Structures are given as structure tokens and as C-alpha cells.
């Protein structure tokens, strides 16, 4: 069915007005949600106006379990957390279960942003442990493709998007020892239909730094492909997307890790993980990170 594209960039927008934010939950009285949203909106404004030119190493690891794909639908039972390979086969046709497919890729990744133009380019340096050098390379991932993870926060907290969401303090947590507040973001029932992803964000309440986002699966591009697989597998699809932003330069937080898990849940609530794609960004080299100050 091909590679599925997941874009974490800004996809749609409405005119900016002041947000109607919900109040924090009990135990979160010290957190002013409206002030926090104002700060994150200002950060998104700086991010959208920033002039960027940087390199980094992009390490991709993907694991695919093909057992459900290879089994006949009549041999798949919807209440099993594991799949007994060979179910329904005769002894003469019995074979060992297929191994998981593991792929790895190492790219030199460059992102240049000037004005409204964003250009991403990659040079493939290593594929499944073998050295290579392929300029202007395409992503070779087998399950999902992705783009513009750096600008993901804008679709949740950019000023023009605030009127389309309800914001709620869902709790507190820690990331690398930093106290953070978890903000639950959901579309308003009466908001215009949009393609932007939404979900939960982990934000340092003291600095308003957006450190992590867990995206909802409901607006994932080409979700029908996962739904069709779920019908075949007799399970409900559960797609988990998590972005982490640990690297910082001149007030801009850059993506450090992206994890995409494709799982299918049976009647007993047990999940079969079909694929996991993990992207790690490291060894940043910044040529230009210029941010407009107001």
C-alpha cells in the first residue's frame, strides 16, 4: 500500500483572536493557562519568522513485524495478543514465522528557511550498516514518511490556531528533571474542519518551552490505510506519534526525536505492534538561527 506521509507542519489556519482557554484542574491553580498560551503563541510567532540554516545527523531505525500481513484473514483471531504462526496450516505446509524486518538509515539533513520558503535536503550516508553517499536522497522508510517536525508546535499554539481548540491542563510531569505541565489540546466542536494534528503537549511552565508533543492519530494523513489493515487484522488501529524538542539555539527548540508506532488492538485490549519508526536528530551545526525580536 506504499509509504504513508505524516506532516507535522502547519496545514491550515483561521483568523487570530483571543483564545477561550479552559481553567486548570485541581492542583494546577498556580498555573495561569491563558498566560502560558500567550507565551507559546509568541514563541510560535518567532519560530515562523525565524531565518534558519542548519545541518544535523538524522538516524532512522524502523522495525516491522509482518506476521499479520502474511497470514490469511480466516486464520487471524481477534482476541490474541500474539499470532501463532502456522495456525490453520497442515503439518506439511508449516514453516517458521517470518523474522521482523529491521532497517536503519543515516542521513546528513539540512533545513533552510527564509521568508515563507522551507527547503529540506538529505544526503544518505549509511543504509543498514553499509556506507554510501547519495546526495539529494529521498527518505527510504518503508512504513511512514514525515516532514517539517521543527514547525509542529505552530499548528497547536500559533495565535491563528488558538480559536479552533479547547485547552486544558491535564496534569504535571517531569522531562529530564524539568517540571512540566501537560496541556490537552482538542478541536472545538464548532470549529471549522481542519487537517492540523492535535494532541497533548509537555511545556515547562517556568519558561514556556515546548519540550514534547504526543499527537492524536485522528487526523493522520492516509489514516484509511491503517483502518483497512485493522479490518483485515480484526483489530482497531492505534497510531502513536511523539515529537521531542531537546536541542535549543537562540530561543528556538529543535527536534531531537520522533517516534511513530503502528499498533492494532484486539477485543481484550492487547496490542500487536506492526511497526515502529524512531528518528533521532543529533550533532547539530547551526549556520544561521536569526529570530525577530519585538
Burial of 217 (0-12, 13-18, 19+ CB in 10 A): middle
Contact yes or no for 160/16 (Cβ under 8 A): yes
First and final C-alpha spacing in the chain: 48
Kindly list the distances between the CA atom of residue 61 and the CA atoms of 10, 19, 124, 143, 239, in Å, as whole numbers in the listed order. Answer: 26, 39, 14, 11, 17
Report how far residue 267's alpha carbon sits from residue 217's, in angstroms, rounded to the nearest whole number. Answer: 19
pTM of the full predicted structure? 0.83
Report how far residue 212's alpha carbon sits from residue 252's, in angstroms, rounded to the nearest whole number. Answer: 14
Question: Any residues with CB less than 8 A from the CB of 136 and at least 6 apart, and which?
Answer: 121, 122, 123
3-state secondary structure at position 209 = coil
Parse the chain into domains and list their residue ranges: 4-81+100-285
Per-residue pLDDT of the chain (294 residues; tens, 9 = 90+): 466 656 565 433 322 323 344 444 444 447 899 999 999 999 999 999 999 999 999 999 999 999 888 887 777 776 554 555 555 554 444 566 678 999 999 999 999 988 778 899 999 999 999 999 999 999 999 888 887 788 889 989 999 989 989 999 999 999 999 999 999 999 988 766 666 678 999 999 899 999 999 988 776 767 888 899 999 998 999 999 999 999 999 999 999 999 999 999 988 888 999 999 999 999 999 999 987 655
pLDDT digits (tens, 9 = 90+) for 182-200: 999 999 887 666 666 789 9
Report how far residue 148's alpha carbon sits from residue 154's, in angstroms, rounded to the nearest whole number. Answer: 11
Contact yes or no for 212/218 (Cβ under 8 A): no
User: What are the residues facing 124 on neighbouring strands?
Assistant: 107, 134
Amino acid at each position: 500500500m506504499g509509504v504513508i506521509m505524516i506532516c507535522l507542519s502547519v496545514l491550515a489556519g483561521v483568523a487570530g483572536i483571543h483564545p477561550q482557554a479552559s481553567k486548570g484542574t485541581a492542583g494546577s491553580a498556580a498555573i495561569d493557562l491563558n498566560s502560558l498560551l500567550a507565551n507559546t503563541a509568541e514563541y510560535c510567532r518567532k519560530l515562523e519568522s525565524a531565518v534558519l540554516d542548519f545541518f544535523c545527523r538524522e538516524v532512522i531505525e524502523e522495525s516491522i513485524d509482518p506476521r499479520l500481513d502474511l497470514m490469511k484473514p480466516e486464520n487471524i483471531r481477534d482476541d490474541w495478543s500474539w499470532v501463532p504462526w502456522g495456525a490453520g496450516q497442515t503439518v506439511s505446509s508449516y514453516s517458521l514465522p517470518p523474522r521482523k524486518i529491521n532497517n536503519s538509515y543515516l542521513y546528513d539533513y539540512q533545513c533552510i528557511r527564509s521568508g515563507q520558503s522551507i527547503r529540506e535536503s538529505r544526503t544518505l550516508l549509511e543504509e543498514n550498516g553499509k556506507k554510501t553517499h547519495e546526495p539529494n536522497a529521498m527518505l527510504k522508510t518503508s512504513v511512514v514518511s514525515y516532514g517539517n517536525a521543527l514547525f509542529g508546535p505552530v499548528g497547536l499554539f500559533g495565535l491563528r490556531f488558538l480559536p479552533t481548540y479547547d485547552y486544558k491542563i491535564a496534569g504535571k510531569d517531569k522531562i529530564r528533571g524539568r517540571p512540566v505541565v501537560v496541556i490537552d489540546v482538542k478541536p472545538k466542536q464548532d470549529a471549522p474542519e481542519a487537517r492540523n494534528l492535535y494532541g497533548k503537549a509537555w511545556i515547562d511552565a517556568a519558561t514556556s518551552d515546548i519540550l514534547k508533543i504526543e499527537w492524536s492519530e485522528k487526523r493522520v494523513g492516509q489514516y484509511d490505510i491503517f483502518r483497512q489493515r485493522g479490518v483485515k487484522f480484526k483489530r482497531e488501529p492505534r497510531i502513536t506519534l511523539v515529537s521531542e524538542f531537546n536541542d535549543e539555539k537562540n530561543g528556538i527548540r529543535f527536534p531531537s526525536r520522533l517516534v511513530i508506532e503502528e499498533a492494532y488492538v484486539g477485543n481484550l485490549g492487547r496490542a500487536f505492534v506492526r511497526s515502529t519508526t524512531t528518528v533521532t536528530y543529533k550533532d547539530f551545526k547551526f549556520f544561521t538561527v536569526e529570530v525577530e525580536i519585538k
